[in-house]
Structure 1
Amino acid sequence: MLKSTLEQWRMFKAVVDAGGFNQASLVVHKSQSSVHHAVQKLENAIGVVLFENSGRKVKLSPQGEVMYRRATFLLDEAQKLESIAYSLRSGTETTLRVAVDIIFPSHLLYNVLNKVSEEFPLLRVELEETVLSGSNTLLSSGNVDIGISPFLYPSGFSEDLCEIEFAAVAHKDHPLHQLNRTLTLEDLKSHRQIVVRDSSAERKVDAGWLGAEQRWTVSHIRTSVDIIAQGLGFAWLPIAIIKNELESGLLKPLPLNNNAALRKALLYLSFEDGDALGPAARAFIGELRYQTMQLPTSDFMDWDCIETDT
């Protein structure tokens, strides 16, 4: 027989999060005396003092700090349990929310979404295009159901999805190409690098070589492509996104030594709790796995424009 209730733990957590009993009462829409009574009953039931006397300020006891961490986990799990029950009760979800890093091949994503929409014609899709840690931030905040990110999702489920190939490129007439020799990273330092800003508001992550003395930071990869196509800098860009520009010769890979012009990034498929996903989300994941398995291996390494030292 349990000695405590979820409601008591909720009151306890509210006091800690809000910074006091009075503040917590405003958050949970109960009187201060009700909140205080609930916490007092909790302490009596479990036989642990949760708060220390510290004047007007609320301060957790050492035991209270431990219980706070466990209570947070308990309440999160209870919320997930109710979400699963709602999903089971309502059947097919009405909205699918997906965060996708902008380096993921767009044509493949559109094919997946189209297949899912054919199976669930009334489904509304909300697509968030993200950069670097942006997908995981949206996933952890509960704003999306599924994320595709270049980083593992630390608190939920992640699986390897696909590798994205990058090449260091510049306009065909860029000064770096006029050197007519194999380049080193030192050669790049005096030229402008174009990078894409992390879309996460909470945690900014830098990725890729950032040794250039001059750098322009943009918010979308298409902006980076446009700038480079104007001859205004260089960047490592996903080969799939710049395929047309490479084939037309507008952009050329930089002839860096030791294959430094070529890089790969692993993308992960992530979600919080598989049991909480509805039929449409499961269909999306299944189709996504199938489509990424069909991705052809790039023949970029065979192109004559790549020069390497061996």
Structure 2
Amino acid sequence: MSFDGRLLSNINVLAAIVHSGSFARAAEALSLSPSGVSRAVSRLESSIGIRLFDRTTRAVTLTDEGRRLYEEISPLLAGISDAVSLASGASTAVHGRLRVNVDPYFSRRILAPHLNEFLNKYPGISLEIMVRDQLGDIVAEGFDIAVRFGQPPSSSLIARKLFETQTVTVASADYVRRHGAPQSPADLIHHACIQMRSSMTGMPLEWVYSAKGDNVTADISSRLLVNESETLLAACLAGAGIARMKAEGVKELLAQGDLVELMTDWTGEKFQLFALYPSRHLPAAKVRAFIDFIIGLLVAKPDKLIVFQPVEQQ
């Protein structure tokens, strides 16, 4: 299949639909008519012989074939934009709209207080933060990057590990007074535990501990499963059961005595912070800038994020 400018134009329309979420919004962004956008998609589908979108009255989503195509072309389009900016001598190579998928914990506890710093540093960026309990399909939904705690699911996404943080097992002081404190992971089966659903996999997280070189996956008794860290913390503080939390999020509560750390002879597993992006190629300048900003933020704030340890770049 020969390449021409019309093909690139039609591919640009595809990218606009994915980023905006609809044909109408893509038409507005590209200063085209809705029918012009539909014709561009039809021409692209005809030229490559696949259907790109599933369309309903409520949503537009990529087909599996469309998703694979977009995974390949999105970094190339970003690379063209970066190359043009650099060739023109522009000082604003980091520019454009950046759509970021984050979990509630990372957004509220770490990112949100510093968003203005990022915007001030990169005045050419328009930033859209979407807080989601579940990762979802970041390609089909047009995200440039996701930042999540926890092991990423097997997928075509590139996963770059940025940081890791220790977990602690805690309960309210009232819970400990009423039910006592477990001394080892084996004791947890006799206590009410609050489980957390992984935002990556959608499955309940296992409770893994280590002591003297031995790793143990605890059997726990749980009647309460949540999918969001603030709910987990609130339920734990109210005495609903024992929870496992990221250490820096409960440091003050432990110091105040509102929470009690349990099984201090056992080390809880570490949670890793990953940047996920849909590309096998070098990510766009705006994506690289956001990743570097997060790393710099966590390294530069040791007083607030003391338990984070930077991971060497891979």
TM-score bin (small chain): 0.5 to 0.7
Structure-2 separation of matches of 1:234 and 1:117 = 39
Cα gap change, 1:226/1:70 in structure 2, threshold over 3 Å: closer, same or farther? closer
Q: Is the 8 A contact 2:103 2:131 kept in 1?
A: yes
Residue number in structure 2 paired with 1:289: 295
Residue number in structure 2 paired with 1:190: 190
Residue number in structure 2 paired with 1:246: 254
Give the TM-score taking structure 1 as reference length: 0.61
Residue number in structure 2 paired with 1:129: 131
Q: Deviations over 1:10-54 (max 9, x none)?
A: xxxxxxxxxxxxxxxx9x648xxx96x987xxxxxxxxxxxxxxx
Q: Is the 8 A contact 1:176 1:254 kept in 2?
A: no
Cα gap change, 1:102/1:156 in structure 2, threshold over 3 Å: closer, same or farther? same
Q: Is the 8 A contact 1:115 1:287 kept in 2?
A: no
Q: Is the 8 A contact 1:99 1:147 kept in 2?
A: yes
Q: Do structure 1's residue 85 and structure 2's residue 80 form an aligned pair?
A: yes
Residue number in structure 2 paired with 1:60: none
Give the greater-gyration-radius structure (CA).
1
Structure 1 residue 171, shift from structure 2 partner:
0.5
Residue number in structure 2 paired with 1:110: 112
Structure 1 residue 167, shift from structure 2 partner:
0.8
Question: Sequence identity of aligned pairs in percent?
Answer: 21
Structure 1 residue 229, shift from structure 2 partner:
0.7
Q: Deviations over 1:51-101 (max 9, x none)?
A: xxxxxxxxxxxxxxxxxx999866753454335435655865442222223
Structure-2 separation of matches of 1:74 and 1:219 = 32
Aligned ranges 1:1-310 → 2 under 5 Å: 29=42, 76-78=71-73, 80-86=75-81, 92-104=94-106, 106-110=108-112, 112-121=114-123, 123-131=125-133, 134-135=134-135, 137-149=136-148, 150-152=150-152, 154-175=155-176, 179=180, 183-199=183-199, 203-209=201-207, 211-255=219-263, 258-260=265-267, 262-273=268-279, 275-279=282-286, 281-294=287-300, 296=302, 298=306
RMSD of aligned Cα (Å):
4.2
Residue number in structure 1 paired with 2:12: none
Output the amino acid matched with 2:98: L
Output the amino acid matched with 1:249: G
Say how many residue pairs are matched: 241
Q: Is the 8 A contact 1:177 1:254 kept in 2?
A: no
Residue 220 of structure 2 aligns to a residue whose secondary structure is coil
Cα gap change, 1:29/1:208 in structure 2, threshold over 3 Å: closer, same or farther? same
Cα gap change, 1:74/1:128 in structure 2, threshold over 3 Å: closer, same or farther? closer
Q: Is the 8 A contact 1:169 1:253 kept in 2?
A: yes
Output the amino acid matched with 2:258: L
Structure-1 separation of matches of 2:100 and 2:273 = 14
Q: Is the 8 A contact 1:101 1:130 kept in 2?
A: yes
Structure 1 residue 227, shift from structure 2 partner:
0.9
Structure 1 residue 242, shift from structure 2 partner:
1.4
Mark the runs of 5 or more structure 2 residues left unpaired by the alignment: 8-38, 50-63, 86-92, 208-217, 308-314
Structure 1 residue 236, shift from structure 2 partner:
0.2
Mark the runs of 5 or more structure 1 residues left unpaired by the alignment: 8-25, 40-68, 300-310
Cα gap change, 1:242/1:74 in structure 2, threshold over 3 Å: closer, same or farther? closer
